Amino acid sequence: MTKAVKKRVLYHLNFLKSIGYDYHEIIEISNKEVNSDSLPNDLKELKSLVENCYLCELSKSRKNALFGEGNPNATLMFISDEPSAIEDESKSHFAGKSGEQLTKMIENVLPLKKEDVYITSLVKCKSANGMNSSHFSSCSSYLFKEIELVNPKLIVTLGEKAYEYLCPDMDKYNQIRGQIIKYKNYSVLPTFSVSFLLRNPSFKREAFHDMLKIKSILESN
């Protein structure tokens, strides 16, 4: 818009005000977290909100907003940090080698199929250079609403970032991995991220023991 056009617009607005028109107060749109009280109590409606969310800069780097998937009444919920490029492309948490590995971990050890669990992520959009705390602040209310609606018996966080962002005031990941903690009325077990296991297969034995612990919890009353 040129200066001349701006002057004409301002002149016209001032003229309208002089003859009695009034203007609404300025609406401030800020990059703050969603108000959880205003979120719907329905996963389908919540998914629709997420898919049309542009609260933070991650919306610029995504192809798809990736909402949680799986059994909405699952006893077991997996939480990763953010969607990968392949997941962003395919719009599925079970895509690529990581998805194949997670499916094997579930179906080879647990008394469940991948369709029986619920998997989601801290943030719903792929980042260009890695997610940070401001991205999670913008997106966290979506995640907490998902947890509330699914109401799982056990939450398994995949990787250090997923655990420490979800449970910021608890012990560090390296001290607590593989142990059950109570956080906000939920049982949480931190374990390795699938991408970490693919890069470091020597840790798969420890991950297997974590999965056995998960199995025993699910099978207990």
Say which residue the tokens 């199929």 belong to. Answer: 113
pLDDT score for 55: 82
Mean pLDDT, consecutive 10-residue stretches, the chain (221 aa), reads 52 56 41 64 94 86 92 96 91 90 93 94 89 88 95 96 92 93 92 96 96 93 63
pLDDT score for 111: 85
Q: Tell me the three state secondary structure of residue 79.
A: strand
> What is the greatest pairwise CA distance in the chain?
78
> Alpha helices of 57-203 — where are they, by DSSP H?
58-61, 85-90, 96-109, 133-150, 160-166, 173-176, 194-199
Torsion of CA 101, 214, 165, 145, to 10 degrees: 100
pLDDT tens-digit series, residues 5-59: 544 555 555 555 556 655 444 333 333 455 566 799 999 999 999 998 888 888 8
Sign of torsion, CA 70 76 80 86? negative
pLDDT score for 26: 35
- The CATH number assigned to the domain with range 40-219 reads 3.40.470.10
